[in-house]
Structure formats: structure tokens, C-alpha cells
């Protein structure tokens, strides 16, 4: 074959492919147009019936809504019911699930979970989760053994959507070996699923946690923190002394999220942990707990060698509000660490607390007005004056404007 | 000059012709591979989108916070729309940081007035060294918005300021003339949630906004622009993103993510020293440096492009501006490739060093030079009577058809996957421009790229800036604004 005939063949092939593409686009557009206009019509027609059903006017065993599988009406009905289920009350959610069960949707998708096509299996797993029928739990648990990570991941996510207590023990038997998965996809889905399952899964997590490897332990600790039940506090307190600093930090963070005051003494002990990010999580945790006893500890951490720990301590103190302000004023006025002082000043400005303090200059309670004055004066010493300068011109209260001018003039 | 005999010239021309044939075959084979890979990836994405679970991401407490960095220099006309669209994104925790890069058109004043911002005294920690910051502006009404004012020092430096000031583990760069779709960030974070350790950066698609209607910083009606210069760019963007970047990303050889809409792991970017100030294509330079850094550290990593998250941006609407933009891109390409020449054919850098970098150098950078030499060689071949005219026309026709095939292929990908242009007339116009762009526009582009190489050689590499236009807003919005 010479070059000329190669070129000619290539030209012919290019023209054919181009025509094929144009033809393909046209046919596809026409077919999709027909399909979607029919689907829209069916949706519109069925919408009234669905509304009547949700209002309790159509009985649940109605045969009016029974359509052949995969038909356009069947598709339209599924779309409408699943959409309605997303925003429905719990009672209506259950009614929709029951209706979908009666109409055979879960059985259809349970069958689809055995399809040879991974996209179909993933889609089926997703639909089963959205339908929320407990009859699908077993099938979804089986899908966790699917060779495709995609299918396993969607199945796991769907299990989180069906809070079926029967699923927990079986799901927990999977835990120690999930970490051997190469992909992180599964781990992140697992976290979300366990958090969605909520408090009911906590006993099962606690019984399995110590058997898991460190990576999985860290993941479970995070979940316990997000679930936020005090039932997990003791187990988490024990993890504060774990040899792995990652686990200690996660345990401190989780304890902060749970907010159980019984954890404060142990957290205070961990406040001098040799690893900085454990100390950082301890500061944040104690800040979240908002207990007056820990103000001194957080003030000490404002001079931590690591700036991120100092920032976390300042942020925690800010979150605690007025009870912490007097301690903060003391640091702002007497503290030797300029960095810590600046850190507090920054947090106060960003969060709008400086604005609150400016407004409080005309507070009917003298004590609060005085505290505000002291605080603002200490900010002027740090040359943090922009917000005050702005307020000295634009604050609606003349009294406040005058007070601020006094503070600015007096100290500058 | 006896040695330049006719025989020598003839052998040179014949040799060059064979080289061109090989060059053409190689380039187009790579394009074909990219198109096939992209088609597969796009279809996979399409199937996945049916069960993507974005709502789970939106409601999950584990979704990481993201800082959106918007460098702005004289963006008064578009900045409010852009910031509004960013503040209103469907994402659990995000902050928007606008870095005003010494604007002289009241960009800062517009922001202060619209968002009722006030100057605050914050601490600035220049972990990556930058020019000093003039001021920080925040408002308790918009707690997740901060504006940083600084003297003019360029986009890369502004981005470095933003990186230093942001408080999230991930940051997303967005151009000031770009608006994001409401769920764009949610879609962009998905690969990071799936592979949190490995993904160091990912980018979404950038589409041409001209012609579309924008209301309150959101594209509400998608239409194609009327001007041909804009239409050419619509087709070009579809081709570059839908099959170019998708394909390179699937091969883990992606060398560029658009600065208009990309997400980065802050820690890694700080490790490599932030954006470089020595280039005019800082987005490309950073991605190459990230590759180099990760390969040298011998760590597993991913730099991904995903076509689902959508951003809409303005493109140049005059040929003078377009030419400037393309010359700038080409100069940036050249400087980055030359400064990383040690990566070429170096097995230490894997596919990036062995394939992606040399390919970009020989095909993307030197493509216009080969084209120019072709224009010289053809008359010479004709003069020496060694040009087979029939073969020449056949070859030219094939080259044109192949170019058209690639453009139409990208439109086909768009049509079977994302289908943002639902009107029949739109798809027809896209196809027509897919054909016409090969008859003049592409050659014009090659000429600009060639000019850029000359500018680089003769050191005429001044910054060539684009001018901004107000987004096209719907009449209802205009009425509201007037009221």
C-alpha cells in the first residue's frame, strides 16, 4: 500500500467518522427529546396522585400506581417518590418507603445488584439507600464483598441511609480488615456512614475498636467524636495515653466534640503532651467545653512554643465569651508575650467581639461598660485601632463615638 | 557557498517532508489516544454522577474547609458578582479571600461599600515571602469574607498573600472575572475526600461565559455568544478541557490546571514555596513544580482534572487582546519548560519526565516553528519540482479533516455527557465553528505563538493585560439594581 492510498483511506475514514458523529448527535438529540418530553408529561400527571398519597387521600395498596418495570411511568413515579422522600417528614418517609416496597422497586434494584455491569450495580446500591427499605440491608451487606471498590463504597454509603440495627454487628465484623483496602475511598465513606448511623452504633464500635489497627482506631475515634455521645468518653480518655500521638490527638479532639466535663482532668493532663498537635487538640477541646475552670490552662497555652497551639488557645478563649474576657484583658495589659496578645486581638476583631465591646461602651451595667473600656484601651496599646477609628466616625451613638475618641486620644 | 548546492537543498526539503509526516502522525496519534481516553473517562463520570452522593459531602462534618482566593486587579465591573457567587456556594465551610492587587479603578472601594467592610488589624505571617500587605477588611455581616489590600505586585504574589492569610487546609484559586456553579466546589472536593493523602491538586472545567446571562453572580441562562472570535474560543475551550485535560489527567500526566478554578493542598504548595514570581503563567509553573517536588520526594500523589465542576469565565472579545493572551501563554510555556529542562527524558520523573514534558516541548511549544518551516518548505519543494501536488493537496485535506475531527469530537463528548447547550441551533453553530476554526483561526493562533517565541528570544516579554467587561445580566436583575 503506497502513501497516496494511505492518505486517501485516511481522508475517507475521517469524513465517514465526522458524518457518523453528526448523525449520532442528531439521532441522540431526537431520541432524548422524545424520551424526556414523555417523562416530563408522566411526571406532571403523577405529581397530583403523589401529592394525594402524601396527604393520605390515596390508600397505600393502590393499584393505580402499579406500572410495568422499566416503563416510562415506572421511571417517572420513582423519580417523584424519591425526590419527595428526600424532604419528607419521618412519617411520610416511611410511607413512601412502604409504597416503593409494595410497587416492587427494592426487589428490582436488589436484582440489579447482581448485574454484570459495575455501573448498574453501583446505581442499584445507591437507589436501595435512597429507597431506605430494611429489606435491602442484607443485599447491601453482601455488596460490600463486590470486587469493585465503587460498588462497595456506594453500598456502604447506602447502609448509612438505612438505619437498620441488624446491619451494625455485621458491619462491625468488617472493620478490622477494611484498612487493608488500598483506596481511601472506602475509609471516608465508612466514616460518613458510621456518623449517620449515630448513637446506636457506638456500643458495637467500642467493642471492636481495640481489635482494629491504629489507622482504623483513629477513624473510629473521629466517628465517636462526631456522633458525640458521652458513652464513649471513658474509652476515649484511655486513648489519651496511647503511644501513637495521632490517636492521642484524635481522642482529645473527639472528647472536645462530646463535651463531657468528666474528661476535663484527663485533658488538662494531656495539655503538657510532648507532641505539639496533641496540645493543640487539647486546647481546642477544652475551648469547646466552655468550662470556667480551664481559663487558666488556656491562658498558659497562649505562650506555647508553637504558634498554632497559641492560636487555638486564643480561639478557645474567644468562644467562651465574657467569662474569659477578664483573663484576656489581664493578658492584653500585662502579658509579656506580644505574639499572644496580638493573637487575641486578631481573634477579637475577626469574630465581631470588638464591635460588641464598642457597643457595650453605653451598656446600662457599669461593670460591663468599664470592662469594655479596659479591653479597648488595651487594644490601643497594641495599635489595634482600625475598628475603633471607624466607629469613632460612624457609630450611631454619639456617646459611644465620644467614648472611643477619649480612649484613642488619651492613650495615643 | 558551494556546499549549498541544489542537491543539498533538495535532500533537506525531502528530509523535512518526512519529518513533517512523522510529526503529523505522532501528534495525531497522541490526540487520538487522548480523545479515546477522555471519552471513556467522561462516560465513567457521567455514570458516576448518577450516584455521586454530593448531598452527603455537603452535610458531612468531615468535609474539609476551603479558602477561596480571588486575586483582583482593576476588576470593579465584575468583582461583586464574583464574590457573591462564591459566598453563596453550596459548601459546608468556606471563606472567600479577595486580594486587591493595587487596583486603580475603585475595586477595593466597591467591595468595601457593597459588603460593608471595615479595616481590621490582623497579623500577617508571610510563610511564603511576599510584598507587605496594606490592610485587611472584614465584616461581621459576612464572616467568611476577607479582603486584603496590597500594592500592585502581580497575580502570583497576590496568590501567595492569600495562601499566607488563609486558614483552611485547602485553597481554591478563582479569577475575578469567573463565576462558579453553585455545586462546583462540592464536586471539586470529591477526589480529595476519596484520596485525601494523594491528591495535591485538582481543577475543574472552565467554560466561556460570554453570551450567557448572569444574575447575582450565577449563570442562569446558557447561550452561545454571537461574535465569531468568542465562538472560536468556546470550541477551543471545549476541546482543551474535555479531551485535552481529561485525557492527560487520566494518564496522570497533567501539566496544567487553570488558575481560574483549581483546588490545592495548602501544605504542599507552601512546601514548594508558593507561586513563582518569575513567570507569566504561574498556574502552569506551579503544577510542574508540584510534580517535580512530589517525584523527588518519591511520594505517591495525584494531580487531577475533573470535568464536572464548572466555572464560567470571560474570554478576550477582540483579536488584539486574544493575541496578547496567547503570546503570554506561549512565553510562559517556554520559560517553564526551559527552566525544568532537567526533567526531560529523566526516568526519575516517571511519565512526566519521559513523556509529558518532551511532548509539550516538541509539540505544543515548537509546533508553530514546524508549521512555519512547512510554509517555507512547500514553495521550495514546488520550485525544485519535487512537490507532488496531488499528494500535497491530499495531505492538506487530511490535516484539515483531522483538525475538524478533533473539534467535532470534543463537541460530541460535550453532547453525550454534560450537554450544557440544549438548543439545536447551539449544537449546529458549535459544529460549524468546529469546522471553521481550522480554516484561519488555528493558523492565526500558530502565528501568535510564533511571535511569542520571537519576543522571548529578543526579550520583548512585557505583561500584556486584558480589559474587563461587565457580565451580561438579565433585564430583571438590571431593574432590581436600579431600584
Q: What is the ipTM of this complex?
A: 0.76
Average pLDDT over residues A167-174: 71
The pLDDT, as a whole number, for residue B482 is 36
Q: How far is B400 from chain A (nearest CA, A)?
A: 10
B344 near A CB under 8 A: no
Q: Searching chain B, which residue's CA lies closest to the CA of residue A379?
A: B121
Instruction: Dig out the grid coordinates for B295 from the structure.
Output: 517525584
Cite the DSSP H helix spans in B136-281.
155-165, 184-194, 228-238, 246-250, 266-271
Q: Searching chain B, which residue's CA lies closest to the CA of residue A351?
A: B140
B140 near A CB under 8 A: yes
Q: Searching chain A, which residue's CA lies closest to the CA of residue B409?
A: A21
> Quick one: pLDDT band at residue A163, thresholds 50, 70, 90?
confident
For the beta carbon of residue A129, count every other beta carbon within 10 angstroms.
25
Say what percent of chain A tops pLDDT 70: 89
What does the buried/exposed string (b/e) look like for A46-85 if buried means 16 or more CB atoms within 10 Å of the residue's CB?
Answer: beebbeebbeeebeeeeeebebeeeeebbbbbbebbbebb
- pLDDT tops 60 at residue A412: no
Higher pLDDT, B327 or A320: B327
Coil, strand, or helix at residue B119? strand
Which residues in chain B have their CB less than 8 angstroms from residue A154's CB?
Answer: 51, 53
The pLDDT, as a whole number, for residue B480 is 39
Average pLDDT over residues A136-160: 87
Q: Name the residue among B310, B216, B300 with its Cα closest to residue B258.
A: B310
B24 near A CB under 8 A: no
Which residues in chain B have their CB less than 8 angstroms from residue A36's CB?
Answer: none
- pLDDT tops 70 at residue A184: no
Cite the DSSP H helix spans in B384-441.
389-416, 424-436
Coil, strand, or helix at residue B406? helix
The verdict on a CB contact (< 8 Å) between A7 and B394 is: yes
A387 near B CB under 8 A: yes
Q: Searching chain B, which residue's CA lies closest to the CA of residue A312?
A: B167
**DSSP for A64-80, written as a single string:** TT---TTSHHHHHHHHH
Q: Name the residue among A221, A97, A70, A236 with its Cα closest to residue A162.
A: A97
What gap in Å lies between CA A98 and CA A133, rounded to an integer? 8
The pLDDT, as a whole number, for residue A200 is 80
Q: Can you give the pLDDT of all 483 residues of chain B as single tens digits?
A: 455 677 788 888 888 888 888 888 888 889 889 989 998 988 888 888 888 888 878 877 778 889 999 999 999 988 998 999 899 999 988 999 999 999 999 999 999 999 999 898 887 888 899 999 999 998 878 888 999 999 999 999 999 999 999 988 999 999 998 999 999 999 999 999 888 889 999 999 999 999 999 888 889 999 999 999 999 999 999 999 988 899 999 998 999 999 999 999 999 999 999 999 988 889 999 999 999 999 999 999 999 999 899 999 999 999 999 999 999 999 999 999 999 999 999 999 999 999 999 999 999 999 989 888 888 888 888 888 888 888 888 888 888 898 899 899 889 888 888 888 888 899 999 999 999 998 889 899 999 999 999 888 876 655 555 555 666 554 434 433 333
What gap in Å lies between CA A411 and CA B446, rounded to an integer? 66
Residue pair A295/A320 in contact (Cβ under 8 Å)? The answer is yes
The pLDDT, as a whole number, for residue B227 is 94
Phi, psi (deg, nearest 5) at residue A382: -85, 5
Phi, psi (deg, nearest 5) at residue B140: -60, -20
> Which whole-number Å values give the CA distances from B404 to B326, B423, B431, B433, in the listed order?
21, 21, 9, 9
For the beta carbon of residue A12, count every other beta carbon within 10 angstroms.
11
Task: Report the alpha-carbon angle B246-B250-B254, nearest 5.
Answer: 70
> Quick one: pLDDT band at residue A56, thresholds 50, 70, 90?
confident
Q: How far is B121 from chain A (nearest CA, A)?
A: 5
- pLDDT tens profile B301-333: 999 999 899 999 999 999 999 999 999 999 999
Average pLDDT over residues A204-233: 86
- The set of long-range contacts for A268-272, using a CB threshold of 8 Å and a minimum separation of 24, is A268/A294, A268/A297, A269/A240, A270/A240, A271/A297, A271/A300, A271/A301
The pLDDT, as a whole number, for residue B1 is 47
Q: How far is B278 from chain A (nearest CA, A)?
A: 31
Q: Searching chain A, which residue's CA lies closest to the CA of residue B404?
A: A18
- pLDDT tens profile A337-360: 667 677 777 767 776 778 888 888
The pLDDT, as a whole number, for residue B479 is 37
Which residues in chain A have their CB less than 8 angstroms from residue B197's CB?
Answer: 184
Instruction: Dig out the grid coordinates for B356 from the structure.
Output: 509529558
Task: Report the alpha-carbon angle A81-A87-A91, nearest 5.
Answer: 80
- pLDDT tops 60 at residue A334: yes
Instruction: Dig out the grid coordinates for A107 from the structure.
Output: 426487589
The pLDDT, as a whole number, for residue B481 is 39
Q: How far is B118 from chain A (nearest CA, A)?
A: 7
The verdict on a CB contact (< 8 Å) between B53 and A157 is: yes
- pLDDT tops 60 at residue A79: yes
Residue pair B186/B99 in contact (Cβ under 8 Å)? The answer is no
**DSSP for B142-166, written as a single string:** STTEEEEEE----HHHHHHHHHHH-
Amino acid at each position: 500500500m503506497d502513501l497516496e492510498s494511505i492518505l486517501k483511506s485516511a481522508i475517507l475514514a475521517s469524513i465517514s467518522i465526522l458524518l457518523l458523529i453528526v448523525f449520532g448527535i442528531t439521532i441522540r438529540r431526537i431520541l432524548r427529546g422524545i424520551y424526556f418530553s414523555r417523562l416530563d408529561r408522566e411526571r406532571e400527571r403523577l405529581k397530583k396522585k403523589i401529592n394525594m398519597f402524601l396527604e393520605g387521600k390515596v390508600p397505600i395498596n393502590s393499584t393505580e400506581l402499579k406500572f410495568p418495570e422499566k416503563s416510562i411511568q415506572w421511571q417517572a413515579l420513582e423519580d417523584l417518590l424519591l425526590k419527595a422522600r428526600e424532604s419528607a417528614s419521618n412519617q411520610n418517609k416511611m410511607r413512601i418507603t412502604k409504597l416503593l416496597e409494595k410497587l416492587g422497586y427494592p426487589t428490582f434494584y436488589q436484582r440489579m445488584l447482581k448485574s454484570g455491569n459495575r455501573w448498574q450495580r453501583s446505581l442499584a446500591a445507591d437507589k436501595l439507600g435512597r429507597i431506605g427499605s430494611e429489606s435491602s440491608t442484607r443485599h447491601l451487606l453482601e455488596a460490600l464483598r463486590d470486587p469493585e471498590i465503587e460498588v462497595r463504597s456506594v453500598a456502604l454509603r447506602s447502609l448509612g441511609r438505612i438505619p437498620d440495627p441488624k446491619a451494625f454487628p455485621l458491619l462491625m465484623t468488617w472493620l478490622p480488615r477494611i484498612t487493608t483496602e488500598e483506596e481511601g475511598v472506602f475509609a471516608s465513606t465508612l466514616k460518613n456512614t458510621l456518623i449517620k448511623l449515630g448513637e446506636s452504633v457506638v456500643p458495637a464500635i467500642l467493642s471492636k475498636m481495640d481489635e482494629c489497627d491504629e489507622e482504623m482506631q483513629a477513624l473510629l475515634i473521629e466517628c465517636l467524636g462526631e456522633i458525640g455521645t458521652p458513652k464513649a468518653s471513658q474509652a476515649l480518655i484511655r486513648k489519651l495515653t496511647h503511644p501513637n500521638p495521632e490517636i492521642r490527638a484524635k481522642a482529645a479532639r473527639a472528647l472536645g466534640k462530646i463535651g463531657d466535663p468528666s474528661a476535663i482532668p484527663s485533658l488538662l493532663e494531656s495539655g503538657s503532651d510532648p507532641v505539639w498537635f496533641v496540645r493543640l487538640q487539647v486546647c481546642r477541646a477544652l475551648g469547646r467545653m466552655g468550662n470556667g475552670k480551664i481559663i487558666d490552662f488556656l491562658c498558659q497555652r497562649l505562650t506555647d512554643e508553637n504558634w498554632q497551639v497559641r492560636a487555638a488557645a486564643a480561639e478557645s478563649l474567644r468562644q467562651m465569651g465574657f467569662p474569659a474576657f477578664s483573663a484576656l484583658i489581664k493578658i492584653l495589659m500585662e502579658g509579656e508575650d506580644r505574639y499572644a496578645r496580638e493573637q487575641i486581638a486578631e481573634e477579637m476583631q475577626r469574630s465581631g467581639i470588638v464591635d460588641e465591646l464598642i457597643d457595650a461602651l453605653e451598656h446600662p451595667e457599669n461593670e460591663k461598660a468599664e470592662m469594655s473600656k479596659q479591653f479597648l484601651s488595651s487594644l490601643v496599646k497594641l495599635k489595634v485601632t482600625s475598628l475603633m477609628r471607624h466607629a469613632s466616625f460612624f457609630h450611631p451613638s454619639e456617646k459611644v463615638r465620644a467614648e472611643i475618641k477619649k480612649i484613642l486620644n488619651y492613650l495615643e | 557557498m558551494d556546499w549549498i548546492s541544489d542537491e543539498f537543498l533538495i535532500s533537506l526539503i525531502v528530509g523535512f517532508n518526512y519529518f513533517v509526516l512523522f510529526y503529523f502522525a505522532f501528534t495525531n496519534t497522541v490526540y487520538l489516544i487522548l480523545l479515546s481516553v477522555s471519552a471513556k473517562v467522561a462516560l465513567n463520570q457521567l455514570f458516576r454522577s448518577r450516584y455521586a452522593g454530593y448531598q452527603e459531602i455537603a452535610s458531612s462534618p468531615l468535609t474539609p474547609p476551603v479558602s477561596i482566593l480571588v486575586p483582583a486587579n482593576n476588576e470593579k465591573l465584575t468583582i461583586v458578582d464574583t464574590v457573591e457567587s462564591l459566598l453563596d456556594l453550596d459548601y459546608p465551610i468556606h471563606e472567600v479571600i479577595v486580594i486587591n492587587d493595587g487596583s486603580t479603578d475603585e475595586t477595593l472601594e466597591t467591595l468595601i461599600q457593597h459588603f460593608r467592610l471595615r479595616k481590621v488589624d490582623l497579623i500577617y505571617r508571610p510563610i511564603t515571602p511576599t510584598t507587605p500587605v496594606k490592610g485587611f477588611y472584614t465584616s461581621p455581616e459576612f464572616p467568611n469574607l476577607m479582603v486584603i489590600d496590597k500594592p500592585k505586585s502581580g497575580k502570583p504574589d497576590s496568590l501567595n498573600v492569600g495562601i499566607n492569610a488563609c486558614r483552611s487546609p485547602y485553597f481554591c484559586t478563582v479569577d475575578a472575572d469567573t463565576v462558579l456553579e453553585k455545586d462546583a466546589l462540592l464536586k471539586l472536593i470529591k477526589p480529595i475526600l476519596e484520596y485525601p493523602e494523594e491528591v495535591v491538586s485538582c481543577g475543574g472545567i472552565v467554560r466561556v461565559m460570554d453570551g450567557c446571562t448572569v444574575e447575582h453572580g450565577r449563570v442562569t441562562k446558557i447561550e452561545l455568544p454571537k461574535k465569531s472570535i468568542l465562538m472560536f474560543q468556546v470550541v477551543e475551550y471545549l476541546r482543551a478541557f474535555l479531551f485535552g485535560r481529561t485525557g492527560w489527567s487520566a494518564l496522570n500526566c497533567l501539566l496544567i490546571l487553570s488558575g481560574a478554578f483549581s483546588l490545592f493542598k495548602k501544605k504542599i504548595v507552601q512546601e514548594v514555596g508558593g507561586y513563582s514570581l518569575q513567570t507569566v503563567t504561574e498556574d502552569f509553573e506551579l503544577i510542574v513544580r508540584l510534580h517535580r517536588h512530589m517525584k523527588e520526594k518519591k511520594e505517591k500523589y495525584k494531580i487531577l482534572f475533573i470535568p464536572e465542576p464548572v466555572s464560567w469565565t470571560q474570554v478576550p472579545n477582540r483579536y488584539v487582546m486574544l493575541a496578547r493572551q496567547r503570546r503570554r501563554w506561549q512565553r510562559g510555556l517556554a520559560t517553564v519548560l526551559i527552566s525544568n529542562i532537567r526533567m526531560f527524558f529523566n526516568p526519575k520523573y516517571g511519565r512526566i519526565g519521559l513523556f509529558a514534558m518532551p511532548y509539550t516541548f516538541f509539540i505544543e511549544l515548537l509546533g508553530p516553528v514546524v508549521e512555519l518551516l512547512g510554509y517555507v518548505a512547500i514553495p521550495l519543494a514546488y520550485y525544485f519540482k519535487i512537490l507532488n501536488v496531488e499528494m500535497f493537496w491530499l495531505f492538506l485535506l487530511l490535516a484539515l479533516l483531522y483538525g475538524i475531527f478533533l473539534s467535532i469530537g470534543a463537541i460530541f463528548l460535550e453532547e453525550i455527557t454534560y450537554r450544557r447547550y440544549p438548543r439545536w441551533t447551539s449544537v449546529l453553530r458549535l459544529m460549524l465553528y468546529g469546522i471553521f476554526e481550522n480554516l484561519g483561526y488555528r493558523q492565526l493562533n500558530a502565528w501568535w505563538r510564533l511571535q511569542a517565541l520571537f519576543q522571548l528570544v529578543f526579550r520583548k516579554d512585557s505583561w500584556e493585560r486584558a480589559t474587563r467587561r461587565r457580565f451580561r445580566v438579565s433585564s430583571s436583575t438590571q431593574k432590581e439594581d436600579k431600584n
